[in-house]
Structures are given as structure tokens and as C-alpha cells.
């Protein structure tokens, strides 16, 4: 007997009531229904209806055609919150990457096209009824992830479902049904045919919302998906298993909601060129690729007993603006160790670095007391060497911050540029 009852917001009740009064059967489906029955906070509420998209747009005054070619219309409530309303659908043709869908006549048809039994449950907000034609509730209760229908057919329709299975199993702590698992492993080689954007979004979802991403990533590895999609990580996992296990433990220690920080932790075992290549395949933005690569390539914080010059050079090399994120990476790694001393030392190093940064000492060429205009005024001709001279000046100042005066630095620069005597 089902004792749990989803509690949709009033706007969902209003949308369903309005559609049903217009003669269109409407049900709540998707993540909010599944999460409620899995005893987790409900997320976004999605609705499926017999009404066609144009009918939905006629019934409601404020709508957004967010995916009208696929039957989806966004309905805005009085506060401007949008709820997705999608016409009952069924798959008529698939190729493993995309599905051609047609409108269906019943909610049962719509549920039959879904990936896993736990996602094929519908809830009627007005009548308090649920539809569960594929046993999703029993599978949730038993902690099992199972496909709707034959696993081979479901994955052949869309190989992305394999990655979704890893994510759901990790997030909900589910065991994967043996037949489902066998099909996943047999189709893993086809994952490379998915678009980079879809692969990226699945990875970022795991890294963003899963308290322990190592579970889903472990399934990636066990099924062969790591080898297909991320061979750089497979090399580490195969050749340096201790390093891979440490990376998994570190990722689990990092906070929820910061997928790119967790991604940087996974990339720390790679050299910069390999990390950039992997990020490029995921088609992150140039800014995201640059930032994640810098975080991943950053040296660990100096030990707390090092002198201020060592910290100044570390901040200069890493970028003072990255102190917080790199320190969090180091601290997460330190907390995976048996001894608590490593964590205490990392915190002490973080405090030292913050103190050095707050002191206002120059850490980059922009902080120097001279710039290109001063070099021109001193009689030097503009050119590529300007950058080299300013880098040399920064090296002097990192060694001795008191040298950061216009007079002292121009004196050094004059000496460096003086023509040697015969």
C-alpha cells in the first residue's frame, strides 16, 4: 500500500485542473514524482497531457514554446514560475542518439517510452492516484534500477541512458538489475557516438548534485565507459590505481554544487596538455576550460613552515584569486588521509597564504611600481622584451618586496638593458 503522497505546489494543481476541465487528461511525471516516492525532496514538476501543444497555448494566457516541436510548452503561473507541459508521446524511430517521436493517445503510451521503471510512474495531483505499469515503486523499494521493457531495446534507442543509469544508481544508492547491467556493458562502446554536450551534462550532473560522485564514477569505470569517454582517466585507473582511488576520495570530500571544482580534482593527475584536451572534448567554454585547467595544474600549498617568499612565489604562480579553490582541493585531499595532521597543516598553510596575500605585496606584473609607459619614458623601444623585463622585475620584487619602487626597478632594468662593454 502506497503511503507516500507527492505534494505539488498550488500552481501544478491549477494547471492540471485547468487542462482537465478543458477535457484533457493530465498527469504529473518525472523527477518530482520519482523523488517523492524515493523519500527525497521533490525537484521540478513536469506534466504530461493529452492536449496538443497548440491547445495548451490556447488554454493558458502565458506560455513559452520551449520545445514545441517535441510537444513541450512552458506554462507560467501568476508569479512567472514556469512548468513544463508535454503532450503524451511515443517513440517511432530511434538510432541510439536521437528519437523521432509522435503524439500518443494515452499516458500509458507515454510511460512505456521512458528509460527506467522508477521514471515511469505517473501521479494524478487531483485524484491522488498513481500509475505504475512497470513496477517502478517496487524497484525503488527494493533498491533496484531496471529498464522499462527489454534493456537492449531501451539502450539501443538512446545510448545516453547508460550514463543516466550510472547517475541514478549512484545518487539513489541502487543496485543495477543484472540484465540491465549486461546490456549497459555491451553497449558501452557506442557512447563515443553521443554528442559532447550530452556527455558533458551527464558528468557535470554527477559532480554537481551527487554527495558521493565516486559511486557513479566507479560504475562508469566498471562498465567500460571511462575507457571509451575518458581514456586519460582510464590510464590513471589502470596504471596508478592508488592515485585514482585518492582522486575519488577527494572528489567525495568536496562540496555539492561546485561541479567544476570537483572536475579539477579529477584532472590533477594529468599534465596540463592532457587536461586541456579532455576539457576540449567536453566543449566547455574557453573561460571554463582555462580556469579548470589552472586549478588542476596548481601546485599544492607550501608547507606552513616555509618562509614568506615561498608563499609569495606560490601565490604569483597560482594566481592569488585561486587561493580559495586550490586550498579547498588540498584540504579535501588531506582529509582523505588517516592522520588528521595533514588537514591541520593544510589549514595552517591556507592561513599563511591568506596573510601574505592580505599584506598587499606585489604578486603579478600589474602590481609593480613600473609599467610599459615607464620603460618607454626611460628610453626603451616598445617590443616583446617589455614583458620579459617586467617578469624579471617581478622576480626581484617577489624576492624582496621593498624593491617595488619606481626608482629601484628602473635601476635594475637599466642595468639589464645596458649594452655590454667590449
- Reported as a single tens digit per residue, the pLDDT across 24-43 is 999 999 999 999 999 888 88
Q: Are residues 43 and 113 in the same domain?
A: yes
Average pLDDT, the chain: 93
CATH number of the domain that residue 214 is part of: 1.10.3090.10
Residue 3 — very low, low, confident or very high, per pLDDT cuts 50/70/90? Answer: low
- Mark out the alpha helices in 122-254 (DSSP H runs): 136-142, 151-157, 160-172, 178-187, 196-209, 213-223, 225-229, 231-239, 241-253
Residue 292, domain member (yes or no): no
Lowest mean pLDDT segment, chosen from 3-12, 207-216, 325-334: 3-12
Q: Are residues 13 and 59 in the same domain?
A: yes
State residue 99's pLDDT score.
61
**CA angle, 167 then 168 then 174, to 5°:** 120
State the Cα–Cα distance between residues 83 and 63, nearest whole angstrom.
9
The answer to whether the beta carbons of residues 5 and 128 sit under 8 Å apart is: yes
φ and ψ at residue 210, rounded to 5 degrees = -90, 125
Which of 111, 142, 173 is at the close of a domain? 142
Residues 115-131, mean pLDDT to the nearest whole number: 95
Residue 316, domain member (yes or no): yes
Residues 374-403, mean pLDDT to the nearest whole number: 95
Residue 297, domain member (yes or no): no
Q: Is the pLDDT of residue 338 over 80?
A: no
Residues 116-135, mean pLDDT to the nearest whole number: 95
Nearest of 390, 419, 258 to residue 328 by alpha carbon? 258
Q: Which cell goes with 157?
A: 534507442
Q: Are residues 200 and 258 in the same domain?
A: yes
State the Cα–Cα distance between residues 13 and 318, nearest whole angstrom.
52
CATH number of the domain that residue 63 is part of: 3.30.460.10
Pairwise pLDDT comparison (2 vs 112), residue with the higher score: 112
Residues 376-382, mean pLDDT to the nearest whole number: 92
Q: What percent of the chain has pLDDT over 70?
A: 96
Residue 286, domain member (yes or no): no
- Reported as a single tens digit per residue, the pLDDT across 224-276 is 999 999 999 999 999 999 999 999 999 999 999 999 999 999 999 899 999 99
The answer to whether the beta carbons of residues 238 and 293 sit under 8 Å apart is: no
Q: Are residues 38 and 164 in the same domain?
A: no
- Reported as a single tens digit per residue, the pLDDT across 345-368 is 999 999 999 999 999 999 999 999
Q: Are residues 23 and 132 in the same domain?
A: yes
Which of 142, 165, 189 is at the close of a domain? 142
Q: Are residues 1 and 133 in the same domain?
A: yes
State the Cα–Cα distance between residues 331 and 329, nearest whole angstrom.
6
Residue 293, domain member (yes or no): no
- Reported as a single tens digit per residue, the pLDDT across 44-79 is 899 999 999 999 999 999 999 998 888 999 999 999
Q: Is the pLDDT of residue 152 over 60?
A: yes
The answer to whether the beta carbons of residues 75 and 85 sit under 8 Å apart is: yes
State residue 94's pLDDT score.
65
Q: Are residues 2 and 126 in the same domain?
A: yes
Residue 289, domain member (yes or no): no
- Reported as a single tens digit per residue, the pLDDT across 400-417 is 999 999 999 999 999 999
- Reported as a single tens digit per residue, the pLDDT across 285-331 is 999 999 999 999 999 999 999 999 999 999 999 999 999 999 999 99
Q: Are residues 27 and 134 in the same domain?
A: yes
Which of 142, 166, 198 is at the close of a domain? 142
Q: Is the pLDDT of residue 93 over 80?
A: no
Q: Are residues 87 and 177 in the same domain?
A: no
Query: Running DSSP on this structure, what letter comes out for residue 322?
Result: G
Residue 99, domain member (yes or no): yes
Q: Is the pLDDT of residue 1 over 60?
A: no
The cell 612565489 sits on which residue? 313
Describe the crossing of helices 406-417 and 385-399 by its angle, rounded to 10 degrees: 130
Domain that holds residue 133: 1-142
Residues 162-171, mean pLDDT to the nearest whole number: 97
Query: Running DSSP on this structure, what letter comes out for residue 106?
Result: S
Residues ≥6 apart with Cβ < 8 Å to 222: none
Q: Are residues 14 and 116 in the same domain?
A: yes
State residue 418's pLDDT score.
84
Q: Is the pLDDT of residue 96 over 90?
A: no
Q: Are residues 213 and 249 in the same domain?
A: yes
State residue 421's pLDDT score.
46
Residue 295, domain member (yes or no): no
State residue 422's pLDDT score.
45
Q: Are residues 163 and 265 in the same domain?
A: yes
> Is 0.75 surpassed by the pTM of this model?
yes
Please return the burial class of 134, using the count of CB atoms within 10 Å of its CB with bins 0-12, 13-18 and 19+: buried
Q: Is the pLDDT of residue 334 over 90?
A: yes
Q: How far is CA 20 from CA 27, 78, 111, 124, 241, in A?
A: 10, 19, 19, 11, 57
Domain count, the chain: 4
Residues 127-144, mean pLDDT to the nearest whole number: 95
Amino acid at each position: 500500500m502506497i503511503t507516500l503522497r507527492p505534494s505539488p505546489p498550488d500552481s501544478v494543481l491549477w494547471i492540471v485542473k485547468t487542462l482537465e476541465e478543458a477535457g484533457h487528461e493530465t498527469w504529473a511525471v518525472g523527477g518530482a514524482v520519482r523523488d517523492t516516492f524515493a523519500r527525497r525532496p521533490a525537484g521540478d514538476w513536469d506534466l504530461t497531457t493529452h492536449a496538443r501543444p497548440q491547445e495548451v497555448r490556447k488554454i493558458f494566457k502565458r506560455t513559452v514554446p520551449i520545445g514545441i516541436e517535441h510537444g513541450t510548452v512552458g506554462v507560467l503561473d501568476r508569479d512567472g514560475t514556469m512548468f513544463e507541459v508535454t503532450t503524451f508521446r511515443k517513440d517511432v524511430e530511434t538510432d541510439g542518439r536521437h528519437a523521432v517521436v509522435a503524439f500518443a493517445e494515452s499516458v500509458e503510451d507515454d510511460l512505456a517510452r521512458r528509460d527506467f521503471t522508477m521514471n515511469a510512474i505517473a501521479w494524478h495531483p487531483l485524484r491522488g492516484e498513481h500509475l505504475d505499469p512497470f513496477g517502478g515503486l517496487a524497484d525503488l523499494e527494493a533498491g533496484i534500477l531496471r529498464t522499462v521493457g527489454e534493456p537492449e531495446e531501451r539502450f539501443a534507442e538512446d545510448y545516453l541512458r547508460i550514463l543516466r543509469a550510472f547517475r541514478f544508481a549512484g545518487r539513489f544508492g541502487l543496485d543495477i538489475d543484472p540484465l540491465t547491467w549486461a546490456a549497459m556493458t555491451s553497449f558501452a562502446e557506442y557512447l563515443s557516438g553521443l554528442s559532447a554536450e550530452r556527455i558533458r551534462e551527464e558528468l557535470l550532473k554527477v559532480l554537481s548534485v551527487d554527495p558521493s560522485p565516486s559511486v557513479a564514477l566507479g560504475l562508469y569505470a566498471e562498465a567500460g565507459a571511462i575507457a571509451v569517454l575518458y581514456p586519460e582517466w582510464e590510464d590513471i585507473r589502470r596504471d596508478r590505481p592508488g592515485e585514482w582511488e585518492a582522486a575519488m576520495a577527494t572528489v567525495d570530500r568536496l562540496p555539492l554544487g561546485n561541479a567544476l571544482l570537483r572536475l579539477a580534482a579529477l584532472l590533477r593527475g594529468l599534465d596540463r596538455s592532457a587536461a586541456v584536451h579532455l576539457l576540449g572534448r567536453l566543449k566547455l567554454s574557453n573561460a571554463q576550460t582555462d580556469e579548470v585547467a589552472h586549478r588542476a595544474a596548481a601546485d599544492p600549498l607550501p608547507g606552513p613552515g616555509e618562509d614568506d617568499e615561498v608563499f609569495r612565489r606560490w601565490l604569483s604562480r597560482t594566481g592569488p584569486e585561486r587561493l580559495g579553490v586550490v586550498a579547498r582541493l588540498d584540504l579535501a585531499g588531506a582529509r582523505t588521509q588517516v592522520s588528521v595532521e595533514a588537514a591541520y597543516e593544510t589549514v595552517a598553510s591556507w592561513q599563511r597564504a591568506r596573510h601574505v596575500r592580505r599584506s598587499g605585496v606585489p604578486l603579478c606584473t600589474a602590481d609593480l611600481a613600473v609599467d610599459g609607459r615607464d620603460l618607454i619614458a626611460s628610453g626603451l623601444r616598445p617590443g616583446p622584451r617589455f614583458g620579459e623585463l617586467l617578469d624579471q622585475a617581478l622576480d626581484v620584487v617577489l624576492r624582496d618586496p621593498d624593491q617595488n619602487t619606481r626608482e629601484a626597478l628602473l635601476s635594475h632594468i637599466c642595468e639589464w638593458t645596458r649594452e655590454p662593454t667590449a
